[in-house]
Amino acid sequence: MAWDTAEIIARVRDRAELDANSTLMTSAVLLRMVNQALEQISLEKDWPWLHASGPLVTVATARTAATPTGWIRTISLVEASTGEALTRRAARALDEIVATGKPYLYSVAGNTIAVAPIPDAVYSYTHRYVRFEPTLTDASTGVPLIPQVYGQGVVEWAAKLALLKTKQFEKAAQAQKDYQDWLKRVVDNVNQGQAPLRIEPRPGAWF
């Protein structure tokens, strides 16, 4: 379960003490800041809620395939029919393999996955990877992947951006500190597999 964008934006307004009728800090502006916050959090750690998988199919004589939209980094590449995992190697090592056959190695360079030997047939794999949060486009009903119990980090980072835009630099610095404190708690929480963090209620919200 996650907060929708209407709830996140309302919490950002409360956190940054923004006027709900401001023509500068509109919902559209705050939505962009929420998306920036989600992207920032995506890059902090391989969060379990951002793990994804999908098919990757090689073509005979072609060793490369593009990564999927929103991809950050690859976790594994597993042959779909056998469950055998390919071994990851540096891209340079694969470039030196010019033989054809059934691939058993893979590399990642830029946004491209390469396998070796060069495929001699069509092979299907399950590609497990970490992705970015999808960009939210609706300021009312959009729902991010990050669980509700960890949503305060989105609020803190977006509030920091809002406070910087309104030139409230001391408050922005405090929001940055609060975000770093949140990040440390959540990383420890996820690493240790503990119960989720307590949700902080928004003033006036029914919880």
Name which of 152, 153, 175 is nearest 165 in CA terms: 175
Q: Which residues of the chain have pLDDT under 50?
A: 195, 197-207
Cβ-proximal residues to 58 (8 Å cutoff; 6+ apart), any chain: 65, 103, 115, 119, 122, 123, 125
**pLDDT for the residue 20:** 87
Q: What is the pLDDT of residue 199?
A: 38
CA dist., res. 103 & res. 93, Å (int): 14
pLDDT of residue 194: 52
Distance CA 126, CA 167 (A): 48
Q: What's the pLDDT score for residue 197?
A: 47
For the record, the structure tokens of 178 come out as 């609060």
pLDDT of residue 6: 96
What confidence score (pLDDT) does residue 205 get? 40
